[in-house]
Structure 1
Amino acid sequence: MKKLVTGCLSVLFFLTHIGFTSAEETTLEFAEEATSAILMERDTGTVLFDKNSHERLPPASMTKIMTMLLIMEAIDEGRLNWEDKVRTSERAASMGGSQIFLEPGEEMTVKEMMKGIAIVSGNDASVAMAEHLAGSEKEFVRLMNDRAKELGLTNTLFANSNGLPADNHYSSAYDLAIMGKALLQHEKITEFTSIYEDYLREDTSDPFWLVNTNKLIKFYPGVDGLKTGYTEEAKYCLTASANKDGMRMISVVMGAPATKDRNRYITEMFDYAYSQFELHNRYQPEDILAEAKIDKGASRSVQLVPSTPVSLLIKKGQSLDGLTEKVTVSDHVRAPVKKGDQLGIITLHQDGKEVLSQPLVAKEDIKEASIWQLMKRAKDALSGRAS
């Protein structure tokens, strides 16, 4: 285990914090007829409202948030390209519910399939993409559940890629918010989820009109995703994201009695967030905040940067208070080091209370030093002692 060496930065920053008001400390009442709901700020993960957010419930088509996340990760890793052709199996074409009416053997590009998933919640497109990526939907579901574990989701289990009713298929409002947070790290996803209307099969005699199932895309400023859901069991659900006034909010509603209700609940929560709070950004992922020494590395040190933006969510009009900032850096780090390896932590404290803690990661790869580099260093060290 790496030993941690603590070093306090000598500067004092004048920042503010929300007092980190939790849902339990407020008398807010939103989503009164929904089974569960949550309102979360994306960058800090601060929860502004919570109603039964850890209750296990059927997620319906909000399941596709994880499906889209795995697609985006495959794109970013180069395992998938937007123009790759995806063939539709008979099984994929047989899916009911929301669909883009794929025919067995029909081919569409990954980009077209993603439109079908993100805009109209195509169950057939979801299964076609699952089979294309993993060989079978069953294997893809295993990958979905593995990714859920990696995200620390304790109230999520998937049985399929599209959210059609199934035994042992559940999630929670909190878990869906965390999935949404992970998906939104892939900025290109909102190029799909924010489309209100589009077409597939445009070069045919029968183009297919796509209209987004999330009407807030059109009617609430800043909303650019993410996924609706409905089954008789789940009722009306929505995981929504909005980017406004330099702040991104995620809100989830599960078990609302009607479409108009889920939309109203989301807009009320967003109205509250944007009227009452603001985000103070301190550092971005490209900002160098520390340096870690590397033992037997091609370079003797590596620069450390935040893994995500370092931000504080504050109440509008709240007076500024001084926060102390502390950076903790790992000691005795041995090469090789990979870009993104956590080698430190940045924490902010106020009145002796920790109000923020985020990882600091290696800015670049550091390979092991060659034998010649090590010999030269040893020779230089001996020469230094001799002189």
Structure 2
Amino acid sequence: MPRSLASFLALCLMLLGFALPAAAFETRARAAWVYDLTTGTVLMDKNAETPLPPASMSKLMTLNMLFEALRDGRVTLDTRFSVSTRAKNMGGSTMFLNETDRPTVEELIQGIIVLSGNDACVVVAEGLAGTEDNFARLMNDRAKVLGLDNSTFANASGWPNPGQRMSVHDLGRLAVRFITEFPEYYGYFGQHEFPYDNRAPQNRYNRNPLLKLGIGADGLKTGHTEEAGYGLVGSATQGTRRIVFVISGLGTDAERAQESERIVNWAFRQFAEKPVAEKGHEFARAQVWMGDQTEVGLVAAEDVSVLLPGSQLEGVTGEVVYTGPFEAPITQGDTLADLVIKREGLPEAHIPLVADRSVARGGLAPRLRTAFLVLKDKLEGQTGLAVSE
């Protein structure tokens, strides 16, 4: 018989304490994407799939190509690249490279992240692909593989070009990729300054306004052009949680700094990760056909935690959803059902539930019993029902 798990989940969460209501957040950014990496929860999505001018935030894709080359062994951090006249003549933010320089890959990484060097980006592009045009084609090919469906590239630096577009979601995907797949290089994004050869003492500081605020920020990249406005791809950790966010289209440098800090504070203060159940907790039992047992328990495969808005800590509801009955054999640990938890203003949380035991295929008696039940259910029109408990 269907039954609600609301009372059980509400009781679990009420025992954990309360928080202030999660206030609705209205960002001034043209586009924004905020993601709780720890729980895989999207907290904000405003025009997140719209391709927009990314400015220097698209340098993240150039860095991705370089990190992949490091991972594949095509270059090392000590590999030196030559500097072309074209690279030297790049305008905008710069490392102040010239044709006599032979910067290492590590210096170029720091020059791109900390100094936002357009010249460094061209050096990387030419060093990996021969020309920047070839590199842009490789960037586009790689973007398709990575699922960056709303991104196109015409250059390595983010220099204004109608063919240079990225969505804030795609930028966020790259940030998550760096954190999860290239942790050995992620520390460069939190570097406060890089006085390359002391060539421009006033241009040695990281432009990320959050790094010095003591709120757990440790990356990633700013961007600004007249067309794009002011933007930031950022990440921060507090306690056991990490968030990633992207904002674009702010009007001033100060507005970008304020909005970034507001988003970080909102994401950490208005949501909390709360435990729901321990590994092995049984949420429901399901009928088994053709087995040496007639039921199997549906249990949590691991400790269950969900991210919740503070306003919902008293009234969480959930359902166990599956299509049953299940036919034996069943192996302990097989995923059989979902625990679906509804959250205010957030996507539903889907938590897999697994079989608590193995159920072998039964002998003659279970098969006869199953045949009878199948016939009965067919007559009643109930075979293969999706079940919510």
SS at match of 1:97: coil
- Partner of residue 69 from structure 2, selected from 66, 69, 74: 74
Q: Residue 14 of structure 1 contacts residue 323 of structure 1 at CA under 8 Å; is this kept in 2?
A: no
- Partner of residue 78 from structure 2, selected from 58, 83, 87: 83
- Partner of residue 247 from structure 1, selected from 241, 266, 270: 241
TM-score by length of 2: 0.67
Alignment of 1:102 with 2:97, yes or no, is yes
Looking at structure 2, the residues matched to 74 and 313 of structure 1 have their Cα atoms a distance apart, in angstroms, of 36
Equivalent residues in 2 for 1:369-380 (5 A)?
none
Unaligned runs of at least 5 residues, structure 2: 1-7, 14-21, 277-302, 323-333, 353-389
Q: Using the TM superposition, give the Cα deviation of residue 324 of structure 1 relative to its aligned residue in structure 2, in angstroms.
A: 6.4
> Structure 1 residues 347, 275: closer, same or farther in 2, change over 3 A?
farther
Match of 2:184 in 1: 188
Q: Using the TM superposition, give the Cα deviation of residue 216 of structure 1 relative to its aligned residue in structure 2, in angstroms.
A: 1.0
Q: Residue 339 of structure 2 contacts residue 351 of structure 2 at CA under 8 Å; is this kept in 1?
A: no
TM-score by length of 1: 0.67
Higher strand proportion, which one? 1
Unaligned runs of at least 5 residues, structure 1: 1-12, 18-25, 283-308, 327-343, 359-387
SS at match of 2:211: helix
- Partner of residue 148 from structure 1, selected from 120, 130, 143: 143
**Alignment deviations for residues 346-371 of structure 1 (CA, whole Å, 9 cap, x no partner):** 9742279973479xxxxxxxxxxxxx
Q: Using the TM superposition, give the Cα deviation of residue 84 of structure 1 relative to its aligned residue in structure 2, in angstroms.
A: 0.8
SS at match of 2:70: helix
- Partner of residue 259 from structure 1, selected from 253, 260, 263: 253
Alignment of 1:218 with 2:212, yes or no, is yes
SS at match of 1:218: coil
Q: Using the TM superposition, give the Cα deviation of residue 143 of structure 1 relative to its aligned residue in structure 2, in angstroms.
A: 2.0
Higher gyration radius (CA): 2
Match of 1:178 in 2: 173
Looking at structure 2, the residues matched to 137 and 187 of structure 1 have their Cα atoms a distance apart, in angstroms, of 27
Q: Using the TM superposition, give the Cα deviation of residue 128 of structure 1 relative to its aligned residue in structure 2, in angstroms.
A: 0.5
Q: Residue 347 of structure 1 contacts residue 356 of structure 1 at CA under 8 Å; is this kept in 2?
A: no
Equivalent residues in 2 for 1:307-318 (5 A)?
312-316=306-310, 318=313
> Structure 1 residues 37, 93: closer, same or farther in 2, change over 3 A?
same
> Structure 1 residues 43, 207: closer, same or farther in 2, change over 3 A?
same
RMSD, aligned α-carbons: 3.4
Looking at structure 1, the residues matched to 222 and 336 of structure 2 have their Cα atoms a distance apart, in angstroms, of 36
Q: Residue 340 of structure 2 contacts residue 349 of structure 2 at CA under 8 Å; is this kept in 1?
A: yes
**Alignment deviations for residues 138-190 of structure 1 (CA, whole Å, 9 cap, x no partner):** 22212211222122222111111110101221111111111211122211333
- Partner of residue 116 from structure 1, selected from 111, 131, 144: 111
Q: Residue 115 of structure 2 contacts residue 203 of structure 2 at CA under 8 Å; is this kept in 1?
A: no
Looking at structure 2, the residues matched to 184 and 228 of structure 1 have their Cα atoms a distance apart, in angstroms, of 17
Q: Residue 230 of structure 2 contacts residue 249 of structure 2 at CA under 8 Å; is this kept in 1?
A: yes
* Letter of the structure 2 residue corresponding to residue 350 of structure 1: V
* Letter of the structure 1 residue corresponding to residue 339 of structure 2: H
Looking at structure 1, the residues matched to 258 and 336 of structure 2 have their Cα atoms a distance apart, in angstroms, of 38
Q: Residue 82 of structure 1 contacts residue 109 of structure 1 at CA under 8 Å; is this kept in 2?
A: yes
Match of 1:331 in 2: none
Match of 2:37 in 1: 42
Q: Residue 35 of structure 2 contacts residue 43 of structure 2 at CA under 8 Å; is this kept in 1?
A: yes
* Letter of the structure 2 residue corresponding to residue 200 of structure 1: Y
Q: Residue 321 of structure 2 contacts residue 339 of structure 2 at CA under 8 Å; is this kept in 1?
A: yes
Q: Using the TM superposition, give the Cα deviation of residue 209 of structure 1 relative to its aligned residue in structure 2, in angstroms.
A: 5.6
**Alignment deviations for residues 53-74 of structure 1 (CA, whole Å, 9 cap, x no partner):** 2222100000011111121122
Matched residue count: 292
Alignment of 1:350 with 2:340, yes or no, is yes
Looking at structure 1, the residues matched to 148 and 305 of structure 2 have their Cα atoms a distance apart, in angstroms, of 23
Match of 2:51 in 1: 56
Match of 2:26 in 1: 30
SS at match of 2:53: coil
Looking at structure 2, the residues matched to 347 and 257 of structure 1 have their Cα atoms a distance apart, in angstroms, of 48
